A and B are shown apart, each in its own frame.
Chain A
Amino acid sequence: MTEAFHVENNPQPVEESVSGMSEAVEAGMPEVDAAHAPTKVKADNVDVFYAEKQALFDVSLDVPENQVTALIGPSGCGKSTFLRCINRMNDTIPICRVTGDITIDDQDIYDPAIDVVQLRARVGMVFQKPNPFPKSIYENVAYGPRIHGMAQGKADIDVLVESSLQRAGLWNEVKDRLSESGTSLSGGQQQRLCIARAIAVNPDVILMDEPCSALDPIATARIEELMDELRQNYTIVIVTHSMQQAARVSQRTAFFHLGYLVESGATEMIFTNPEDKRTQDYITGRFG
């Protein structure tokens, strides 16, 4: 970097353009409001151990509200481990130990007073492989609200089932076959059913762990379109191995490597001009 160019470490990607070139470069870039969105999930100095082995090192990340944050990185980099800290899924692994602070709306989710079942209703999760219950489509969605006591009579639950399936973009395809088994649906429909099931309990945050890796491109596009709609009401964190998917769906991207959070920032900056060489090497397909 030459001094004469006034290169600054300015985190704001948008600057007033003075030459014709800067206009050309900045034209067409999506609006970046991530910097101003309030933080929904805040991780500070998070370490995760599986027995003796440390899987995450001192990870601090702010997840902004009503945005899609993509976690990317090679296999074993800790991105899924981090995702599973956000709804305390790691608690189900006996040898797993999490230190540091994670808050949602400034509330410590590792506080002993927190009801983990309630937390997992607030923080829904969608997995790589669609995993509908072996029950009817209707029951898949109705189950959560019912056990959480969110709806009383059948009429209330009917309304919730319909609105959840509507929001998951599945209603028109299944409204005449609600009593059929959830497993009879196609892969993409099953995944949207799982999303409907997650949103039926009215969560704040939806975690997605490679939600499209078992789906064909059309089903993938449907889910991606859905994510864009859902982020109006929910905060979404997605782990994906597809960099193109991260680029398409997210506003913020965080790159993990060997258990460290290497770099996070506005998605278009990560994919056009990352700061760290490791990020650069990973997203361009070079040896690290």
Chain B
Amino acid sequence: MATEHIVTSFDEELSRLSDLLSRMGGLAESQLENAIEALQKRDSSRAEDAIDNDHRIDDLHVEIDEMAIRLLALRQPMATDLRHIVTALKVAPIVERIGDYSKNVAKRTIALNQMPPVKPLFTIPRMGRLVREMIKDVLDAFSNNDVAMAREVWARDKEVDDMYDSLFRELLTYMMEDARNITACTHLLFVARNIERIGDLATNIAELIHYQVEGRALDEVRPKADESSVAVVEPH
């Protein structure tokens, strides 16, 4: 913000709120990174780390909620300040969900590591990297009020949806080939689903950035490509 408030303590509180959100975002980002690396390298101890760290994100969520509500009550913010605080209130639970989905990926990784690997799976780590980039970029856009970047991330989700669709079909064929694959493939399907959801959450954050900066909703229809809900693979 170019100009500062007459009441400096208000500025300090707003910047503290932003700092808390950046920290929370950073934690969620590394949580996701840990979960994906653990999956790819079949590293259960790294997966354990990701599971154990989730509470730190939850704690920050509570702190951000309390701070934002306190600011609304005590400062009666208007215009950009109001949008800043309302956006923080809405972004924090989204980041918290990212942490939860990542934790779930880590849990399933531990389960998967107790079974022989299904097939060399390239799509999930690739999807994971793509979503991790989206999260990183959207959080950067959030810190910098960068609407152009937010919009770019928002449009990027289509690629993730495409990957998810093809992965869905791929896993179905493995399961049909050999019923002993079903347990692992089901876990993998949920892993992929979680990652795909994180991509959607990145687009939600992008929409909130647009609202915070421009003061109005992003009123375009997002290109969506997740067709797995209607996918059918016929047995041979």
CB A244 to nearest CB in B, in angstroms, measures 6
0 or 1 for each of A1-26: is its CB under 8 Å from B? (1 = yes): 11011110000000111111110111
0 or 1 for each of A270-288: is its CB under 8 Å from B? (1 = yes): 0111100001110111110
Residues of B within 8 Å of A5, CB to CB, are 147, 151, 210, 214, 218, 220
With A2-B147, A285-B6 in contact, is A22–B218 under 8 Å at CB? Answer: yes
- Pairwise interchain contact B217-A271, C-beta atoms closer than 8 A: no
Q: Among residues 155 to 213 in chain B, which have CB atoms less than 8 Å away from a CB atom of chain A?
A: 204, 207-208, 210-211
Task: Pick the contact of B204: A6, A21, A280 (CB < 8 A).
Answer: A21
- Pairwise interchain contact A273-B147, C-beta atoms closer than 8 A: no
16 inter-chain pairs at a CB distance below 8 angstroms, sorted by A residue, are A4-B151, A5-B151, A6-B220, A19-B222, A21-B217, A243-B78, A244-B76, A271-B79, A272-B78, A273-B214, A273-B216, A280-B79, A284-B78, A284-B79, A284-B81, A286-B5
Q: Tell whether B82 is near chain A: CB-to-CB under 8 Å.
A: yes
CB B190 to nearest CB in A, in angstroms, measures 24
Chain B residues within 8 Å of A, Cβ to Cβ: 1, 3-7, 10, 76-83, 90, 147-148, 151, 204, 207-208, 210-211, 214-222
- Pairwise interchain contact B5-A22, C-beta atoms closer than 8 A: no
Q: How far is the CA of A279 from the CA of B221 in the complex (A)?
A: 32
Task: Pick the contact of B214: A1, A271, A287 (CB < 8 A).
Answer: A1
CB A213 to nearest CB in B, in angstroms, measures 17
Q: Among residues 209 to 231 in chain A, which have CB atoms less than 8 Å away from a CB atom of chain B?
A: none
Q: How far is the CA of A26 from the CA of B83 in the complex (A)?
A: 13
- Pairwise interchain contact A6-B219, C-beta atoms closer than 8 A: yes
Residues of A within 8 Å of B81, CB to CB, are 284
Residues of B within 8 Å of A2, CB to CB, are 147-148, 151
Residues of B within 8 Å of A6, CB to CB, are 219-220
- Pairwise interchain contact A22-B151, C-beta atoms closer than 8 A: no
Residues of B within 8 Å of A25, CB to CB, are 211, 216-217
Residues of A within 8 Å of B6, CB to CB, are 285-287
CB B50 to nearest CB in A, in angstroms, measures 29
With A2-B147, A273-B215 in contact, is A284–B5 under 8 Å at CB? Answer: yes
CB A7 to nearest CB in B, in angstroms, measures 6
Residues of B within 8 Å of A19, CB to CB, are 207, 217-222
Task: Pick the contact of B207: A7, A21, A283 (CB < 8 A).
Answer: A21
- Pairwise interchain contact B78-A15, C-beta atoms closer than 8 A: no
Q: How far is the CA of A15 from the CA of B220 in the complex (A)?
A: 12
Residues of B within 8 Å of A243, CB to CB, are 76, 78
CB A288 to nearest CB in B, in angstroms, measures 8
- Pairwise interchain contact A271-B78, C-beta atoms closer than 8 A: yes
Closest B residue by C-beta to A13: B216
CB A249 to nearest CB in B, in angstroms, measures 15
CB A17 to nearest CB in B, in angstroms, measures 7
Closest A residue by C-beta to B6: A285
Q: How far is the CA of A280 from the CA of B208 in the complex (A)?
A: 20
- Pairwise interchain contact B220-A285, C-beta atoms closer than 8 A: no
Assuming A272-B79, A283-B79, what are 7 further A-B pairs, CB within 8 angstroms? A22-B216, A25-B217, A271-B82, A272-B83, A283-B78, A284-B80, A286-B4
Residues of B within 8 Å of A279, CB to CB, are 79
Q: How far is the CA of A172 from the CA of B43 in the complex (A)?
A: 77
- Pairwise interchain contact A7-B214, C-beta atoms closer than 8 A: yes
Q: How far is the CA of A284 from the CA of B80 in the complex (A)?
A: 8
Residues of B within 8 Å of A24, CB to CB, are 90
Q: How far is the CA of A243 from the CA of B75 in the complex (A)?
A: 12
0 or 1 for each of A143-163: is its CB under 8 Å from B? (1 = yes): 000000000000000000000
Q: How far is the CA of A74 from the CA of B82 in the complex (A)?
A: 21
Closest B residue by C-beta to A22: B217
Residues of A within 8 Å of B5, CB to CB, are 284-286
CB B198 to nearest CB in A, in angstroms, measures 17
Q: How far is the CA of A2 from the CA of B149 in the complex (A)?
A: 10
Q: How far is the CA of A21 from the CA of B86 in the complex (A)?
A: 13
Residues of A within 8 Å of B214, CB to CB, are 1, 5, 7, 273
Which of B1, B6, B80 gathers the greatest number of chain A CB atoms within 10 Å?
B80
Closest B residue by C-beta to A4: B151
Task: Pick the contact of A18: B90, B211, B216, B221 (CB < 8 A).
Answer: B221
Closest A residue by C-beta to B11: A286
0 or 1 for each of A125-156: is its CB under 8 Å from B? (1 = yes): 00000000000000000000000000000000
Residues of A within 8 Å of B10, CB to CB, are 285
Residues of A within 8 Å of B208, CB to CB, are 21
Residues of A within 8 Å of B83, CB to CB, are 272-273
Residues of B within 8 Å of A1, CB to CB, are 147, 214
Q: How far is the CA of A20 from the CA of B77 in the complex (A)?
A: 24
- Pairwise interchain contact B4-A287, C-beta atoms closer than 8 A: yes
Residues of B within 8 Å of A26, CB to CB, are 217
Which of B4, B79, B82 gathers the greatest number of chain A CB atoms within 10 Å?
B79
